[in-house]
Amino acid sequence: MTKEQSAKEQSIARLNSAVADELATVHQYMYFHFHLDDAGFGPLATLFKRTAIVEMGHIEKLAERILFLKGDVEMVPAFAVEKIDDPVKILLKAAAMETESAKNYNQWAREFAQNLDAATKQIFEELIRDEEGHFDAFDKQQEHIRQFGPAYLALQSFGQEVPAAPAE
């Protein structure tokens, strides 16, 4: 295998690792969404659904790059869904997942630069910006809970039970 070929293979392997991570994340966030929605935490449930959709977009970007490099997409989630349904624990877990993704993607971005694969590096840089944004959103929710206590989450569910104002 030439040096160029092995660099390409390495990019494809990293891209597939990211696909696996993103797939597991989509599953985990949808699980959080179902449970939060069921428990009446509407806004938090919506945050997880929207974030899961962004992660799905990440899979698409990664897959396009894999196919461009003439690899194939391994659609295998990196880990099984953890059955967490407590809102505080959910936010802790999600924030940790985002930190881990951003850390890995940053390390791999450096490898892509060394392998002269700037286009893959650029895709990961876009993903890092998104993951940092997700971390920030989850961190803000945790901060609100720290500030206002569990009442903050109860108020989130209260909003949903208020009937819509009748049309005039």
Site string for Fe ion, 85-124 (x = CB under 5 A): -------------x--------------------------
What the block records as the tokens of 54 is: 């962004």
14 binds Fe ion (CB under 5 A): no
Residue 55 makes CB contacts below 8 A (sequence gap 6+) with 22, 25, 26, 29
- Among residues 9, 34, 25, 32, the alpha carbon closest in space to that of 115 is found at 9
Closest contact distance (angstroms) between CB of 133 and Fe ion is: 8
For Fe ion, the binding residue among 19, 134, 153, 156 (CB under 5 A) is 134
Instruction: Please state, in angstroms and rounded to a whole number, the distance separating the CA atoms of residues 30 and 61.
Output: 20
Is residue 58 a contact point for Fe ion (CB under 5 A)?
A: yes
Give the residue with the Cβ less far from Fe ion, 38 or 100.
Answer: 100
Q: Where are the beta strands (DSSP E) in 96-141?
A: none
Q: Residue 131 interacts with Fe ion (CB under 5 A)?
A: yes
First to last CA, the chain: 74
Name the residue nearer to Fe ion (CB basis): 40 or 77: 77
Q: Where on the chain is the footprint of Fe ion (CB under 5 A)?
A: 22, 55, 58, 98, 131, 134
